[in-house]
Amino acid sequence: MKIIIAGDGEVGFFLAKMLSNENHNITIIDPDFESIKMLEDDNNILAVHGDPSSIETLKQQGIKRTDLFIAVVHEEKTNIVAAALAKQLGAKKTIARITNTEYLNDENIEVFKGMGIDEIVCPERLAAIEIVSLLYEPGAIETFTFSHKQFKIVLLRIPENSPFADRCIDDISGLNPDISFRFVAIHRKNETIIPRGADYILKNDLVYVLTNSVETEKLLELSGIEMFKVENLIIVGGGRIGLKTAKNIEHQMNVKLFEIDPIRASRLSEELSSAMVIRGDARDMSLLEEENISGMDAIVSLTENSETNIFTCLIAKRYGVKQMIALVDDVNLIDLAQNIGVDTIINKKLITAGYIARFTTEANIASMKWLYGVDAEVMEFIAAKKSKVTRKEIRKLSFPKGAIIGGLVRNGTAIIASGDLQIIEGDHVIIFALSSVYQKVQDFFK
């Protein structure tokens, strides 16, 4: 697939590098000459210095032959103009990144489609939605749903006293016949394992588990994870994500939002109706104690600095806060954060890239998620007629070793995968796969 990415920062570069690993023909257009130099050594990406909203620049880069044009620069007006022009000049599909939530209602989305913009993506909105979902299931480090919320994948850290610890997967399943779930990955000592029945779950493993959405709470209880409800919440940082999160949650929880900038803090006080806005630095322990940090159930740190967010969460952990969520935009810090105790990470680049990547495949993908600190993806494929995946029972498919079929939804019913199950046309199939075998998995669904 020929893909052009208009980007002027980390999201564009990250997306270009991720997609170039999947054998696409990638061109990135960036108005910043210094940024372009960062990509000159990557032989899989053509880096071009130029204005992505320039008709001449788009023509020079072969926009007429482009399958997908993605505009993810920081200035949303540039994205809108560039994507609209790209469509008019011959691009088959266009995506634009926006930050103004006013654009996200159904009526305005239709306006954008009329301009030639097929999809709009708002990283801040996606991040806020993910944060709120995590706050409602605080026992899980990470959680995301598929197939209209019928399936859920949950990331758990196995406690030392867990009934799952030091048992093989087949034994765990046999001891819990009343709940439908499937282990789809184990992350241990910076290595990701696609497990089979004989593999063991160990203490402190990070494990990804697929289950029916209605049985998530029961799964957490069986695994020995402490259940609690988030009633008192601290949000650190009143930027776009912090504000969106507070607005989404302020009427369900007692929210205290810390903002160090006095002008922004004043504006937040006007925009929020129930949340308490506190002007100050959340790294100040005396201020935290004054605001009863030890009585808080969760903290979400969303400043623009990854190190600050990690540090703030670790301070809160010392005071007994049970759930910590940190915005970590530096991908290189994700593993470090998880290893020192900040399990739950939010990364805008991965969220945005996962949303966009599903438009880059020849197979029919309903949803896709790139994972934090793990070189792997979770995908929801729709099985096509006569595709390879429908020809035999699962155990006979010779499915790639770095991938696992977790389950499927057929006619509205969620089914956990088993070896004797045969996939049929139209099934929504949940796959967990290492990035190295993504292309092989895709081939099964074409």
Q: What is the pLDDT of residues 374-432, one digit of tens each?
A: 778 899 999 999 999 999 999 999 999 999 999 999 998 999 999 999 999 999 999 99
Strands 2-6 and 68-71: parallel
Confidence of residue 79 (pLDDT cuts 50, 70, 90): very high
Q: 64 phi and psi, to 5 degrees?
A: -65, -25
Highest mean pLDDT among 179-183, 362-366, 369-373: 179-183
35-61 mean pLDDT: 85
Least confident of 33-37, 237-241, 387-391, 440-444: 33-37
Where are the strands (E) in 151-308, listed by range? 151-157, 167-168, 181-188, 191-193, 200-201, 206-212, 232-236, 254-259, 276-279, 298-301
Contact 241, 127 (CB under 8 A): yes
In a 3-state reduction of DSSP, which class is residue 319? coil
For the record, the structure tokens of 294 come out as 């030890």
Identify the H or E element spanning 97.
strand 93-97
Q: From CA 160, how far away is CA 139, in angstroms rounded? A: 15
348-370 mean pLDDT: 81
- Total residue count of the chain as it appears in this document: 446
What single letter denotes the amino acid at residue 215?
Answer: E
Closest CA to 313 of 289, 291, 345: 345
Q: 417 phi and psi, to 5 degrees?
A: -70, 145
Contact 117, 83 (CB under 8 A): yes
Distance of alpha carbon 180 from the chain centroid: 24
Q: What is the DSSP code string of 218-245? A: HHHHHTTPPP----EEEEE--SHHHHHH
322-326 mean pLDDT: 94
Q: From CA 135, how far away is CA 128, in angstroms rounded? A: 11
Confidence of residue 56 (pLDDT cuts 50, 70, 90): very high
Record the pTM: 0.83
Closest CA to 128 of 38, 35, 283, 249: 249
Average pLDDT over all residues of the chain:
90
Per-residue pLDDT of 249-280, as tens digits, reads 999 999 999 999 999 999 999 999 999 999 99
96-122 mean pLDDT: 89
Closest CA to 207 of 221, 194, 217: 194
Confidence of residue 367 (pLDDT cuts 50, 70, 90): confident
115 or 38, higher pLDDT: 115
140 or 316, higher pLDDT: 316
